[in-house]
Each structure stands twice: as structure tokens, then as C-alpha cells.
Structure 1
Amino acid sequence: MKARAVITTIGAAATLLALTGCVPNATSSDASAIAVDSSADACSVSTNSASSGTLRFKVTNSGDKVTEFYLLADDGLRIIGEVENVGPGISRDLVVQAQPGDYFTVCKPGMVGDGVGNAAFSVTGDKVKLAGDEQEQVDAAATNYVAYVKDQVAQLVTGTDAFLAAYKSGDDETARASYATARANYERIEPVAESFGDLDPEIDFREADVAPDKEWTGWHRIEKDLFPPAAAENGGVDYVALTPDQRTYYADKLAENTQQLYDAVHASDYTVSIDAISNGAIGLLEEVASGKITGEEEIWSHTDLWDFQANLEGARVAYEGVRDIVEAKDPELVKTLDTRFGDLEKQLASYGSLDSGFVYYNELTQAQVKELADGVNALSEPLSKLTATLVA
């Protein structure tokens, strides 16, 4: 996902309060508010910078559709705050306590699609003390992470539908080209899918993981059909392509399961615990170590590095969501994790990006694979301490 990309349909609370602190909506006067005008095709913010501390964005909808406004972290993925359901002619406030750093602002007229007016926003000054007690900070972290999960699953539905439309129509070139990127939203939040029983096996199991009495469905069933193996890579048997009816069956099954995941995370009672967030970060690195580094995840397409990148991004978002809470308890652990995340991200970036594409995994040398494995291990060891520190 590009850093300038924006979020899709989110059913989160009207105002998400950043982990940096929840702030009552009535604290700032109109004179000090940052004006935001959301129209049909623009998101005009009265300034592109502010000083650290309590910020209030006064969002006015001058368009003819209900709109939303978001403040995103510098990765374009993590949601710092949002205000939704701003009707035409109505003004609503988003109040956050912002730390120094780089952010993005964006509006979403109609509350669907990619949004408009994505722009850089910077916060200068000194770091400010977290607002509220630890429980309030934990609650804010959980609220923001739920919004992130909903965003990623909403994008997954859209991307999967486009991919499956090409696949069912027989446009294999388009389907192969979009296969790896369409999966990225799933790979970022895979531990969430795993929490819903059979959904992850039905969506993402590899052939080798499926029990003999179970039906093999999902992404990797379609992967094998799009990237058919030679007989030597298929147990000595020539691969038989799926018929059009079979393609439709497996495509519809994947679409149905993906919609079930969307419905599950958009349920009114869906929430996450603070340890689930940190354990999710740990689990995503374990996914890299157990599947991506071995090359077994994408055994036919060899697009493992795309999955690797998405897993790493998802782990970073989960970690960043609880980082400030952990820093107050173990600043040295946070310092180490910041460094190790940066090192591994830089290492992986040398092979490509989600936007431009990566080197196919079967083109890496053994030395390059070992170097990536060493980077994963270097991050996994301190990351494994995250939950224990967080809940101590």
C-alpha cells in the first residue's frame, strides 16, 4: 500500500482518539481549530502543520454526500483519529493529542472508495505526555486497532472482488498480475482472521496443510491454477487446469469467506484486547519465519516477498499502536524494537516494494535468504517480549 493511500469503508466510532491521549471535544475554541472543508472532490485543510499537543480539526461538509475525515500516521496505514458520518452542511470535530511527527490528512465523500485530497501534515515541537491513565491509553489503542482492521478487511473485499472477476473471466494475465497485491490486506491482519475458527484455513491454507478429509479452498487453490506447476513439482503428475465451472466455484467460495470475515470484524460487538494486538505483531513475524523465509507460502507464484512486506507492515502497525505504553515501562525494549524494525524494513526494501513489485523468491540466492532470515530472527527475539512487558 502506498503511503499516500487512504482507507476504505470503516464502521468505527465517530471519533477515534489517538493513543497519544483522549481529549474532550469541547476543549478548543473555533479560533484555534484547524478548518477542514470536505467537498465532493477535495479535502482542504487550513494548514499543513501544527505544534504538538491537543489539536482540533473542525470538519465541515460542503458536498452533497455524507463524508469522513482521517488523520493517518506516516505509514498511511495506522489510523490516528477519524470523524465519520458528517452530513452535508454539517460540521463535526476530531480532537487528538498529537506527538511530533509526519502524518496524512484525507477525506472520504460517500464514506466509500479511496478518498480524496490525501495530503502531508506535520506536527512540530516537543513530545507531550500521554493523556489519561494507562487504562484509557489501552482503550484508545484497542479502538484505533479495530478501525485499522476494519479498514484492511474492507480493502481486502474490494481487491479480492477485482482479482476474482479477472480470474473467472479467464483473464489470467490480469489475475496473475494482481494476485500478490490483492492479498496484502489479508497478510497484514492474518492473526485476526485466525481468531475466527475455520475462516483462515478456508481462505489461506496451503495444499500441504489441508487434512485428507478436508476440501482445499482459498487463495492458494487459485494460485496453483494461475501458476500451474510442472509435473516434477506436482508429485510427478501433470497438473490439470480447473474448468470454468470449477473456477467459478472456488472464486465464489473465496468471495463468500472474505465477506464473512468483513461481517465478523464489522459486528457491533467486535473488539480486541491489548494483548491480542501485541500478540498479533508477534504472530505476524512468526508467519514470516515459518512460511515466507522457507518459500513455502507462495510455492507456485513465488511472491513470498510481497507477503513478507505485508506481514511486516501489519506487525509494525500493531507495535506502533502500543509503543508509547510499552515505552513507559521498558524504554530500552522500545529502542531496540525501533532499530530492528527499521533494519529489517531497509533490508526488505532492497528487493522491491508492494508498489513496484519484488524479486521473485526463487530468484534469491541462499546467502540472500539467510540474510533475510537473520534479520527476521533479530527482530523476533525482542518482539517476543512485547506482550509480557505490555501487560506487566
Structure 2
Amino acid sequence: MRAVRLSAVTATATVAALTALTGCTEKGGDASGDRVINVTATDSKCEVSTKEFPAGHVELAIENKGSKVTEVYLLFPDDRIVTERENIGAGTKQRVTAEVKAGDYTIACKPGMKGDGIRQDVKATGGTVAKRDPRLDKAVASYRTYVQEQADATLPLAETFAKAVKDGDLEAAQKAYAPSRIGWERTEPVAESFGDIDPKVDVREDGLEEGQDPAKDWTGWHRLEKSLWKDKKLTARDSELADQLITDLTDWQKRVGKADITPTSMANGAKELLDEVATGKVTGEEERYSHTDLVDFKANVEGAEKSYELLKAVAKENDPALVTELDKQFAALNTLLDKYRADKTSYDFTSYDKVGDADRKELSDAVNALAEPLSKLAAAVVVK
């Protein structure tokens, strides 16, 4: 689930953690160049330094001058996501690299990380994007196959979960819940890029938009999670929600192969998956009733590592030191996660409510150590 829906109580602490985590947060001056778009976000404005820029690789140099946590999106005209950066703390700067074809786009700033945001129409001009290194084209093709495989594998697992819910079998539904989410968690940035699927299947109650009624508008895994672990009963409404979950995941399965995927979106997606871990899994907020956070945690890391491994050859050529560091930090985090499961092939992880504060800090530190160099991967796959 995208980490954009924070309560007022947790926002400050979470942003402080992310500021340490991202590694691309800056205090320096503005960026420059015809491929750099300076984005200045406040609580009431979203200003851009240019509304036209050359097609190809562009960089959003974002500064949040407001008092609220914000996020910035580069969107297609139909609101599909080209790239994004979430949880940008007040007074901080971040950068994100993207690859765009000629055409119309929108830059949206979302102060408070709610709603449709304050928007600016922009345009990428010129011909087609320069021809990529063939290794990057191969990486994109392989990743596209991977995300489709994950969606295809998720649906039968979700159907098993939904059947148990509809049968009123509380124990079977609890057992099927976490496995049904693994493929989604591995590839969540691709699902989120469509804009409309994630809020249906993976939103938490505190992530609902203002005006939405939890009784009517809250759907998806986490609504059912609450029934299974907090309410400890299944109703006719839960059966309806189980059917709706399958409908929405089938929509995802059919659309995921058509997602816009580029080398930079793969790299940014890997970073987003680590942000997911930092803002939801390490804190225990994501699976607050089932406490299956470590299953999601591992799946997020696996998805990030898949993108990295596919891009690694080009990244190593452009920035060998970065690749050395990423290899080291992925290995360290995976080794740490292995402490919490029965064996290295099992998804039978320790219930997260049994993980103490000191161990949670150790996990958080390991995520931070990986996320900092991972934030540089997108720039490293832009062929010099």
C-alpha cells in the first residue's frame, strides 16, 4: 500500500525517519539544466520552473517549502503515474529521475498527501526518446514478464482466500491471507501506477479520503483483515468484499502487462518498495490486525531486488561503487530477515507483535542502509 496516508500524530515521526532513509534529501541550492524541472511545493501551491522540456530523461528537483508533508507526481493525462516521490518532509528537497516520451503530462503536488493535488500541465517536446542500451530493453522485457507472472500467481491464492471468507471459515481465511498478498507486494509500484486499483484492494482505514465512509467505501484486503483478526467474525458484507477483491485483482492481472515500464521506473519502483517497508512494515501499521508485516516486508525486498538485479549490469558500468554497496546491503537485510522465519524458503515469519523494539530498530536501520544507495539507482541506469 502506498505510504501516503499518515495520521497527524504519526506524520512527523515518519517523515523524520524517511528523511534519514532516502539519502536523496538535500539542503542545497536549485538544480539547473534543460532536463531538470525545479518543483516548489507549498501548502497551497505547486510551482514548476518550466512547463516544457525535452523528451528523454528528466529530473524533478523537488523542494517542499510548506508546513505539511507532501508528495509529487509526474502523471500521464489519464492520471497513470510516470514517477512519484512520497513523504517529502517540510523544508526538505528530493530528486527523482524519469524517462518520458514527447507528449502532455501533469505535475501534481499533494500537501498533506491527500486528494488530487495542486496541478500544473507540462509538456515533453521533441522526437522519440533516444535509443536505449539493449541491455536495458532486455531488463524491461524481463521485468514485464516478472510482474505478469506475479499477478497470475496471485489470483489463485486470492481466490483460495476469498473462498474461505465466503465459507465463513475464519481459520482457513487467516491462513490464506498473507500468501495471497505476496505477488502484489513484490510488484506494488506497477499496480499503483494505474492509480485506481491500489485504493480498492490495499488501502487501510486511515488511508481513506475525506468524505469516504468506511462502512461503504473501504474495500480490499485490509478491510477483511480487520474482520478476521479484530472482529473475529465473517458476515455477508465480508462475502461481498471477498468477491469484490477478486474482481479488482482480476482487473489488475489483465492490465499489468500493459503498464508503462522503463528502466528508471523500475529503479524508482525499487526505491518505493523500500519506502513501503519504512512507512508501513517496520512500524507495524500495515498489518495492524494480522501482524503478518514480515511477509509483506520480505516480498517488498524481493521485488526491489528483482528490479536491481535486472538493471545491475548497466548500473555497474556507470557506478561500480554503488553496485558494490547495494550488493552488500541487500545481503545484510536478507540475512537479517532470515532470523525471523523457519527456513530460507518459507514465508512462515514471526508474528510482528512478537518482535521487540530493539529488533524493530535493527530492521529499520538495515532498511535505511539499503534505501540510501537504492535511491541512486535510477540515475545510475541513465546511460552516460
Aligned with 1:203 (options 198, 201, 204): 201
**Counterparts in 2 of 1:190 and 1:216: CA distance versus 1, 3 Å:** same
Structure 1 residue matching 2:178: 3-state secondary structure: helix
Residue equivalent to 1:301: 290
Aligned equivalents of 1:191 and 1:275: distance in 2?
12
Q: Deviations over 1:120-177 (max 9, x none)?
A: xxxxxxxxxxxxx952111111100000000000011111011111111011111101
Aligned equivalents of 2:297 and 2:308: distance in 1?
16
TM-score (norm 1): 0.61
Aligned with 1:290 (options 270, 279, 283): 279
Where does 1:98-113 land on structure 2 (aligned, <5 Å)?
A: none
Aligned equivalents of 1:329 and 1:337: distance in 2?
14
TM-superposed CA distance for 1:345, in Å, is 0.2
Residue equivalent to 1:235: none
AA matched with 2:261: V
Aligned equivalents of 1:240 and 1:377: distance in 2?
36
AA matched with 1:227: W
Q: Deviations over 1:314-367 (max 9, x none)?
A: 000011010001000011100000000000000011011562511111111110
**Structure 2 unmatched ranges of 5 or more:** 1-130
AA matched with 2:335: K
Structure 2 residue matching 1:294: 3-state secondary structure: coil
**Counterparts in 2 of 1:354 and 1:254: CA distance versus 1, 3 Å:** farther
Residue equivalent to 2:248: 257
Aligned equivalents of 1:340 and 1:276: distance in 2?
21
Contact 1:217 1:250 in 2 (8 A): yes
Aligned with 1:221 (options 223, 237, 255): 223
**1:359 and 2:350 correspond:** yes
Residue equivalent to 2:29: none
Structure 2 residue matching 1:266: 3-state secondary structure: helix
Contact 2:165 2:234 in 1 (8 A): no
**1:336 and 2:325 correspond:** yes
Structure 2 residue matching 1:227: 3-state secondary structure: helix
AA matched with 1:191: P
Residue equivalent to 1:317: 306
Contact 1:142 1:271 in 2 (8 A): no
AA matched with 1:220: H
Aligned equivalents of 1:288 and 1:354: distance in 2?
20
Aligned equivalents of 1:141 and 1:179: distance in 2?
31
Contact 2:267 2:378 in 1 (8 A): yes
Q: Which has the larger radius of gyration?
A: 1
Contact 2:170 2:233 in 1 (8 A): no
TM-superposed CA distance for 1:266, in Å, is 3.3
AA matched with 1:363: K
Q: Deviations over 1:88-118 (max 9, x none)?
A: xxxxxxxxxxxxxxxxxxxxxxxxxxxxxxx
Aligned with 1:145 (options 143, 146, 153): 143
Q: Report the aligned-residue RMSD.
A: 1.5
Aligned equivalents of 1:329 and 1:141: distance in 2?
16
Contact 1:218 1:253 in 2 (8 A): yes
Instruction: Report the more deviating stretch, 345-354 or 380-389.
Output: 345-354
**1:387 and 2:378 correspond:** yes
Where does 1:1-392 land on structure 2 (aligned, <5 Å)?
A: 135-214=133-212, 215-228=217-230, 239=231, 241-243=233-235, 245-267=236-258, 270-352=259-341, 355-391=346-382, 392=384
Aligned equivalents of 1:357 and 1:369: distance in 2?
18
TM-superposed CA distance for 1:382, in Å, is 0.6
Report the number of matched residues: 247
**Counterparts in 2 of 1:194 and 1:177: CA distance versus 1, 3 Å:** same
Structure 2 residue matching 1:351: 3-state secondary structure: coil
Contact 2:170 2:232 in 1 (8 A): no
TM-superposed CA distance for 1:271, in Å, is 4.2
Aligned equivalents of 1:206 and 1:374: distance in 2?
25
Report sequence identity in percent: 43
User: Which aligned segments of 4 or more residues in structure 1 are displaced greater than 4 angstroms?
Assistant: 239-242
Aligned equivalents of 1:370 and 1:240: distance in 2?
31
AA matched with 1:189: T
Structure 2 residue matching 1:359: 3-state secondary structure: coil
TM-superposed CA distance for 1:241, in Å, is 4.4
TM-superposed CA distance for 1:242, in Å, is 4.6
Aligned equivalents of 1:367 and 1:199: distance in 2?
36
Aligned equivalents of 1:220 and 1:240: distance in 2?
14
TM-score (norm 2): 0.62
Structure 2 residue matching 1:173: 3-state secondary structure: helix
Contact 1:337 1:383 in 2 (8 A): yes
Aligned equivalents of 1:366 and 1:193: distance in 2?
32
Aligned equivalents of 2:151 and 2:296: distance in 1?
16
